[in-house]
């Protein structure tokens, strides 16, 4: 329990810091005075005030978020005339959009850097060694056996299982020529994948070409150079972003049950397991949570960054902001939605970890 709690605080603390750092740096860049930079909500545990800028840096009791409070933002007292040049609301719309968008942008940037670092540290990759052969499958008919290693599909070199799997699934059922190693010998096998009904990661039925093989248990740590790691970091960040956007839409359209939403207990459990599996696994997990945090904050829900961006875009189009009463009502609605979502996620966590009747 202590182990998982520690890593949950580390993961959330780093990602919250990165998010708020984005807001903070862009605010300072555009000459906005930052009053408070807080990691966490609620009662302040530790406070340090900068003598030069006057900013309060705080560590607060509830480690489930953070905030950057800027001069002229929120329901504070009127800004003194001499401080107006440093007020958030006194800036033009575009600088304010950049300040608000910087939080999610920094989360995407963190994901890219974390995934790039993971590939430099070393990523465990399944080797293209066959672990199982399904009965009455194309693989069995072609004479493939457990322990065989595929080195080529047609003219494509195969060094990891992911390449083998993705190439077969994208083959559209055409005949493939596999180069196979067995007991020190190499031979060619022609095989035609069959369309089989399977389920994707969202549990939806799909028909994909398969040959009826499963992976073995041989794993190799693959380390890459800086440029190749950055390329892979970019690819994985984009894939995670697409996956998160698709998952979010399927949740909204109820293709995925809302019972799949996880909360702090689930994050804590997954963080602890990722840390046990090594540095690269932890970096992958942090990148995934960072992308999720970025996309969650970009949803057009009042009180989130996406809601603020929506208001700012409307202000830019209208030439003036929405009425304060409208914004306040929208923010109350957004806060209610977030509170209900948090309660639902916590309920799901409790159901997973403390099931009734067991």
Q: What value does the mean pLDDT of the chain take?
A: 89
Answer yes or no: is 353 within a domain: no
Q: Which residues pair with 351 in a beta bridge?
A: none
Answer yes or no: is 246 within a domain: no
* Whether residue 64 has pLDDT greater than 80: no
Average pLDDT on 333-358 reads 79
In this structure, what CATH number is given to the domain that contains residue 172? 2.30.42.10
pLDDT of residue 320: 87
Q: How many distinct structural domains can be found in the chain?
A: 1
Average pLDDT on 46-61 reads 91
* Whether residue 357 has pLDDT greater than 60: no
* Whether residue 92 has pLDDT greater than 90: yes
pLDDT of residue 219: 87
The answer to whether the CB of 252 falls within 8 A of the CB of 336 is: no
Query: Who's near 42: CB < 8 A, 6+ residues apart?
Result: 60, 61, 62
Answer yes or no: is 206 within a domain: yes
Average pLDDT on 30-38 reads 94
pLDDT in tens, 197-214: 777 777 777 888 999 999
Answer yes or no: is 208 within a domain: yes
Answer yes or no: is 139 within a domain: yes
* Whether residue 237 has pLDDT greater than 60: yes
Answer yes or no: is 147 within a domain: yes
pTM to 2 decimals?
0.85
E-state strands within the chain: 34-49, 56-70, 123-126, 130-133, 149-153, 156-157, 176-182, 185-191, 194-199, 205-210, 213-215, 219-222
CB atoms within 10 A of CB 307: 21
Answer yes or no: is 154 within a domain: yes
Pair of tokens at residue 240: 């995670």
* Whether residue 265 has pLDDT greater than 70: yes
DSSP 216-262: -S-EEEE---HHHHHHHHHHHHHHHHHHHHHHHHHHHTTSS-GGG--
* Whether residue 15 has pLDDT greater than 80: yes
* Whether residue 1 has pLDDT greater than 70: no
Active site residue ranges: 20
Q: What percent of the chain shows pLDDT beyond 70?
A: 97
Average pLDDT on 117-146 reads 92
Answer yes or no: is 7 within a domain: no
Query: Which residues constitute the domain of residue 128?
Result: 124-221
pLDDT in tens, 159-188: 999 999 999 999 888 899 999 999 999 999
pLDDT of residue 356: 60
pLDDT of residue 17: 94
CA 189 from centroid of its chain's CA atoms: 40
pLDDT of residue 248: 87
pLDDT of residue 111: 97
């Amino acid at each position: 329990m202590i182990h998982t709690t520690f890593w949950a605080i580390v993961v959330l603390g780093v990602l919250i810091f990165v998010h708020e750092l984005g807001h903070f740096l862009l605010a300072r860049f555009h000459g906005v005075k930052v009053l408070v930079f807080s990691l966490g909500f609620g009662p302040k545990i530790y406070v340090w005030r900068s003598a030069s800028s006057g900013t309060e840096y705080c560590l607060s009791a509830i480690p489930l978020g953070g905030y950057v409070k800027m001069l002229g933002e929120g329901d504070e007292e009127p800004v003194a005339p001499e401080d107006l040049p440093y007020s958030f609301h006194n800036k033009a719309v575009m600088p304010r959009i950049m300040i608000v968008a910087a939080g999610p942008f920094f989360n995407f940037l963190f994901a890219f850097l974390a995934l790039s670092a993971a590939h430099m540290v070393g990523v465990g990759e399944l080797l293209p060694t066959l672990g199982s052969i399904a009965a009455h499958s194309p693989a069995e008919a072609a004479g493939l056996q457990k322990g065989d290693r595929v080195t080529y599909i047609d003219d494509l070199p195969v060094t990891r299982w992911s390449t083998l799997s993705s190439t077969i699934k994208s083959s559209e059922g055409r005949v493939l020529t596999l180069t196979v190693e067995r007991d020190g010998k190499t031979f060619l096998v022609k095989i035609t994948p069959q369309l089989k009904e399977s389920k994707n990661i969202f549990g939806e039925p799909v028909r994909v070409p398969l040959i009826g093989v499963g992976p073995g248990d041989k794993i190799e740590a693959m380390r890459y150079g800086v440029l190749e790691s950055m390329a892979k970091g970019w690819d994985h960040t984009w894939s995670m972003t697409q996956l998160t956007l698709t998952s979010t839409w399927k949740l909204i359209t109820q293709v995925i049950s809302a019972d799949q939403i996880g909360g702090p207990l689930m994050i804590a459990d997954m963080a602890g397991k990722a840390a046990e599996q090594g540095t690269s696994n932890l970096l992958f997990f942090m990148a995934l949570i960072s992308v999720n945090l970025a996309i969650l904050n970009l949803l057009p829900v009042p009180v989130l960054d996406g809601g603020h961006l929506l208001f700012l875009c409307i202000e830019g189009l209208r030439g003036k902001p929405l009425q304060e009463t409208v914004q306040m009502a929208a923010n109350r609605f957004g806060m209610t939605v977030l509170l209900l979502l948090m309660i639902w996620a916590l309920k799901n966590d409790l159901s997973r970890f403390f099931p009734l009747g067991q």
